[in-house]
Chain A
Amino acid sequence: AQSVTQLGSHVSVSEGALVLLRCNYSSSVPPYLFWYVQYPNQGLQLLLKYTSAATLVKGINGFEAEFKKSETSFHLTKPSAHMSDAAEYFCAVSDLSVYGSARQLTFGSGTQLTVLP
């Protein structure tokens, strides 16, 4: 069964600093990987996804993530944090479902990003 671990439930960075949110996954087959962002009182919005075309994936709002098979990681980065980046971020893996034949998403527990002025 697939699983996702997000290291650090809360991350604080200063405005303009590097953002690094960590995600490690386990999957029995080559995975599809996703990062979603959730702003307060809203639903989840897709930031970016890895679908095996390229290991470095660029997403919206200046975020990118690198798929490293040897490390089973898919960390999310942004070179310079902005106040508007404050939100909760979820890593997810898509794999053949343990509940049926369709592919499902398994989510990590989330990382709350705080951006300090």
Chain B
Amino acid sequence: NAGVTQTPKFQVLKTGQSMTLQCAQDMNHNSMYWYRQDPGMGLRLIYYSASEGTTDKGEVPNGYNVSRLNKREFSLRLESAAPSQTSVYFCASSDGRQYNEQFFGPGTRLTVL
């Protein structure tokens, strides 16, 4: 099992460019999540998908969109990147049941110039 995989690992964008971060999990989990991690702020939830076919906003959704392509894949899109979106992005998945333990991918380090 690969667990949760993310591509790319690193990305540099110019302000205004767009890109999509990809995430896939092979654990047959129902729920998937996108977080951003900034120094001193822990992880903040951007969007999540409780189950295939549903997506909901988290704490910091502005400037992002998501697509739950199928049960395995959950992508995060930046339509017009801004320097404030420079961060490390983590995808996570869980079975969605009461304990809600989440499994994390290795992260994507994004720099917006």
Contacts and interface: CB of A to CB of B under 8 A. Distances in A.
Interface in B45-67: 45, 48, 50, 56-59
Contacts of B58: 99, 104
A51 B107 contact: no
Interface residues of A, number: 26
Contact of B96 (A34, A51, A102, A108): A102
B48 A104 contact: yes
B106 A102 contact: no
A94 B94 CA distance: 12
Nearest to A34: B101
A32 B44 CA distance: 18
A32 B98 contact: yes
B104 interface: yes
Interface of B: 4, 31, 40-45, 48, 50, 56-59, 90, 92, 96, 98-107
Interface of A: 4, 9, 32, 34, 36, 41-46, 49, 51, 90, 94, 99-105, 107-110
26 contacts: A9-B40, A32-B99, A34-B101, A42-B107, A43-B104, A43-B105, A45-B104, A46-B101, A49-B99, A94-B99, A94-B100, A99-B48, A99-B58, A99-B59, A100-B50, A100-B56, A101-B50, A102-B100, A103-B98, A103-B100, A104-B45, A105-B100, A105-B102, A107-B44, A108-B42, A110-B42
